[in-house]
Structure 1
Amino acid sequence: MRPAPARVGDPVDAIDSPALVVEIDAFERNLAAMDAFARSHGVRLRPHAKTHKCSAIALHQVARGAVGVCVQKVGEALALAAGGVRDVFVSNEVIAPTKLARLAALPSDVQLAIAVDSVVGIERLAAAIQASGRQIDVYVEIDAGQGRCGVLAAEAGALARQVVAHDGLRFAGLQAYHGGAQHLRSVAERETAIRHAVAMATAARAAVTSLGIDCPLVTGAGSGSFLLEAASGVYGEIQPGSYAFMDADYARNAPLPGSPRFEHAVFVRSQVIARHAAHAVVDAGHKSHAIDSGLPTVWGRNFEFRNGGDEHGLLHPRGDEPLPAIGDTVWLVPGHCDPTVNLHEHLVAVRGGLDRGVVEAVWPIDARGRLD
C-alpha cells in the first residue's frame, strides 16, 4: 500500500504527486446545495457512494441530511459499514449466495436494502436472510430506459408479490434509475429520457398496487437528472453521487434550469517533470485518472491535456499561455470521478484553496477495489 501522500497540517505544495485532492470548501458547498435542494423539494437524499467509496465522506453526507447511501457492490457495503455508515442500499442485483451471506451477516444495527429483478435473486436473498434471522428492505428494479438490469414495468407486481411471500424480506418500493440519461448533453435529451423513466415508474407502481401491495417509495435519479425526477411527483428519493465532486464530464452537460450549480471539488495534483520547446510533461498518466469519459482538463491554466501513457500527461499550451516550469504544480480535473477514485488509496482534503490551502484531513478510500 502506498503511504499517504500528505499529513494533516501540510501546505498544499507538500502533497506528494500524483495525488487525489478534495478542495473541501467547494465540496462542502456542493453537499449543502444538494441537501437544500432535497429539503425544498420534499424528497429524501440517498447519495451514491460509488463516487467516493469513502466512509468519512458518507458520514459527512449523512450528517448534512442524507438518509443513507447507495453502493453497487457487497464489498462496498461491508467497507462502509465497517467505517460507521448505518444505512446502506445495494442498488444492484446480487446473485451469488456467498455474497448474500456476507451481506446478511452485517451487524443488526446496519439498515440494509437491496435491488432485485428476478425470482432467482429473491429466492437466494430470502435463503440468506432466513439463515441470518434479520430483515432487509427489497426494491424491485425496473428498466427505466437504459436496457441494463431491471424488469419491464408490467412485471414489477409479480416480483413484488414474490418478495412479500418471504419472511425477512420487506417490499420497500421500486428502484428506477436511468443511468444512460445522466450524460446526455442537452436539456431536451435528458427531459425526454426522464419522461420515459417517470412513465415506466408510474406504470410499475400501478402494477404493484393493483395486486393490493403498497408501494412505499420510488427511488433513483443521478447527478445529471435529479431535478427532473424530484419534480415528477413520482420519485420520493434521489440518488445522485458525482455532485459532491463534479468531474469534467458532468461539467459538459447543459445545466437544467433551476438546478443547483456544483463546483469542481476533486483534483489530481500533478507535477511538471519535463519541459520542451512546445510542451511540458506531468507525472500523472492514466494510472492516476480514468479516461473512459475523456481525458482530464487542466484547472486554471489554458493547456490542452494529451495522453502520454500510463505515467505521463502532456501539456500543450493554447494561445499565449506560457509553459510551466519543471517542478510546478498542475491541477487536473478528472474526466470521470468514480473510477478515478478507485485508482487511489487516499483522498487528501485541503482547506483554503488549491494555491495556499492546508491539508485538513487524509481520508482512506475504504471501498477502493471492492469489486466483490
Structure 2
Amino acid sequence: MRTSYEQLKKLVGQGVDAIDTPAAVVDLDAMQRNLNRMAEFARKHAIRWRPHAKMHKSVAIARLQLQAGACGVCVQKTAEAEVMAAGGITDIFISNEVIAPHKLARVALLAHRLAADGGQLAIAVDSAEGIRRLAEAMNAARADTGVAAVIDVFVELDVGQHRCGVAPGTAAVGLVHEIRRHPALRFAGLQAYHGGAQHLRGARERREAIGLAAGAVQATRAVLAAEGIAVPLVTGAGTGTLVCEAASGEWGELQAGSFLFMDADYAANERDPAQPAFEPALFVRTQVISVSATHAVCDAGHKAHAIESGLPRVHGAPEGLGFFNGGDEHGILRGPTLPQLGECLWLVPGHCDPTVNLHEHLIGVAGGLKGGVIDRILRVDARGALT
C-alpha cells in the first residue's frame, strides 16, 4: 500500500524512528547550512544564482531558495517548468532545447501566463530552426491571448560538454541575428554549461577545464561585439565548478543545484579551497532485513536510489562498512563489523537528482538524523515530469 501525503503528515512531530523504510529523507539543518553557504558565496562574488530545480523537483524547496536570494530557477523540461509555475515560481529558465511543435506551444503558453503574473520565462536554443519554431509558437500564443509576451532566449555554446550547443565563435552570430528577427523573442545572452567538468576529481583539473570554457566564452563575446552585439548575461556552472565560473569574470549567473543535497559522487571530488563546505543533506533511510556470517542485507535497492553515478555511501557507519549492489529491492552490506538485524542505516545516494525522482515525498527532519524529529513533508511535485 502506497503511503499518501496525508498519512505522512501525521508523522510530523515524531522522531526519526517513525520513518518507514526505504524512504528519502532530508536533513533540514544540513540543507539550510548549504543554502546559507551558497547565498553567502553569491553575495561575496556579486554574482546571480539560479539553482536547478530539476534536482529537488519541489516547489517548496524552490521557494526556500528564492527566499535565500536566488533570482529564479532552472529546469530541463517543459513539464518541470509548468509544475514550478503552477506552484507560484515566476522566473524560470528552461536550460535545454525544445524542438517539438506541441511542446513549444506549451512553452509559449507558459511564457504568456508568467508574463501576465509579472514573471518571465527563458529558454536555450542552438539552431536556427529551433528559433523559428519557437517564434511561430510565440506568435500563435500572442494571437490567441491578445498579449504580446516576450520570451528570453539564450544561445547555448558547447564549451566542453559535447552535448547540446553550437561551437564557440562565429556560429553564435547567425543565431543571435535570427532571434532578433522575431519581436516575440529577446536575446538574453549565452548558456555555457560544462557538465563534463563537474565530476573531474581534481580541483586543478576542474579549473583547467573551466579555463578553456572561459576562453570559448571570451572568443564568442569578441565575435559578437564585432557585429555590434552585446551579451547581456552568461549563465552556467554546476556544483563541481561554481568557484571557477565565479572567479573567471565571464559568467554572471550560476546554475548549481546539487550543492543543496550534496550526493556521494560530488562529495568524492577534491574540494577546491575556495568552494563552500557543502555537506550531505539527502539520505535514504534503510533497514537491515537479513544478516549472515559474511554480509547483511538492507531493504534499499536501486528502486530507492539511483546508481548510474555510483553506489550509495553508508553514512556514519563503522569504518570499512560498504554498500554493494543487491538488485532492485536489496542492498548488500559488507565490512569487518556488520549491522544488526532490524538496525536502520542512512545512505548517501550516488546521484541526488534521479534519486529524488524515484520518490513522491521527501521527509524533512530537523535536529539531526540521530535525535531529530520529523518537521515537514515535502512533495516531489515534478516527479516524472519528463516531457
TM-score by length of 2: 0.93
Aligned equivalent of 2:167, options 152, 155, 162: 152
2:134 to 103, 112, 125: 125
AA at the equivalent of 1:36: E
Separation in 2 of the partners of 1:247 and 1:311? 21
2:309 pairs, out of 282, 293, 312, with: 293
Pairs within 5 Å for 1:158-237: 158-237=174-253
Could you give the per-residue CA deviations for residues 90-128 of structure 1, whole angstroms, max 9, x where no partner exists?
A: 000000111111122122323100000000110011111
**Letter of the structure 2 residue corresponding to residue 123 of structure 1:** R
Name whichever of 74-83 and 21-30 sits farther off: 74-83
Query: Which of the residues 1, 9, 32 maps onto 2:36?
Result: 32
Cα distance in 2, alignment partners of residues 291 and 63 from structure 1: 32
The CA distance in 2 between the partners of 1:317 and 1:276, in whole Å, is 12
Q: How does 1:1-372 map to 2 (within 5 A)?
A: 2-4=3-5, 6=8, 7-106=11-110, 107=113, 108=115, 109=117, 110-133=119-142, 134-154=149-169, 155-302=171-318, 303-318=321-336, 321=337, 323-372=338-387
Partner-residue secondary structure (3-state), 2:365: strand
Does the residue aligned with 1:201 lie in a helix, a strand or coil?
helix
The answer to whether the 8 A contact 1:71-1:77 is kept is yes
What's the CA shift string for 1:326-346, capped at 9, x where partnerless? 221110000000111111110
Counterpart AA for 1:363: L
Q: CA deviation at 1:2?
A: 4.4
C-alpha distance in structure 2 between counterparts of 1:204 and 1:173, whole Å = 11
The Cα of 1:209 is off from its aligned counterpart by 2.1
User: Do 1:158 and 1:208's aligned partners in 2 also have CA atoms closer than 8 Å?
Assistant: no
Percent identical: 58
Matches of 1:284 and 1:139, distance apart in 2? 41
CA shift, 1:204, in A, is: 1.3
SS at match of 1:152: coil
Distance 2:14 2:87 in 1: 25
User: Is contact 1:74–1:99 with CA below 8 Å preserved after alignment?
Assistant: yes
1:192 to partner: Cα distance: 1.2
Counterpart code for 2:222: A
SS at 2:211 equivalent = helix
Shift of residue 207, structure 1, vs aligned partner: 2.0
Tell me, in whole angstroms, the C-alpha distance in 1 between the residues paired with 2:50 and 2:132: 27
SS where residue 145 of structure 1 aligns? coil
1:69-105 per-residue CA deviation (whole Å, 9 max, x = no partner) reads: 1000001101111111111100000001111111221
Please state how far the C-alpha of 1:230 moved relative to its aligned partner.
Answer: 0.5
**Which segments of 5 or more consecutive residues in structure 2 lack a partner in the other structure?**
143-148
More displaced, 116-125 or 148-157?
A: 148-157
Alpha-carbon distance in 2 for matches of 1:270, 1:114:
39
Query: After TM superposition, where is structure 1 displaced by more than 4 Å over at least 4 residues in a row?
Result: none
Q: Note the alpha carbon deviations across 1:315-362, whole angstroms, 9 max, x for none.
A: 1123xx3x2222211100000001111111101110001111111111
Q: Contact conserved, 1:2 with 1:345, CA < 8 A, in 2?
A: no
SS of equivalent residue, structure 2 residue 323:
strand
Report how far residue 274 of structure 1 moved: 1.1
2-structure distance, mates of 1:364, 1:11: 20
Partner amino acid, structure 1, of 2:194: H
Q: CA deviation at 1:3?
A: 2.2
* CA distance, structure 1, for counterparts of residue 106 and residue 58 of structure 2: 20
- What SS does structure 2 have at the residue aligned with 1:115? strand
C-alpha deviation, 1:130, in angstroms? 1.3
Superimposed CA distance per residue, residues 22-69 of structure 1 (whole angstroms, 9 cap, x where no aligned partner): 000000000000010011101100001111111111110000000001
Code of the residue aligned with 1:214 in structure 2: it is A
Letter of the 2:323 counterpart: F
CA contact (8 A) 1:101 1:129 kept: yes
Distance 1:116 1:253 in 2: 31
The whole-number CA distance in structure 2 between the counterparts of 1:359 and 1:111 is: 35
Q: TM-score, normalised by structure 1?
A: 0.97
Question: In the comparison of the two structures, how many residue pairs are matched?
Answer: 369
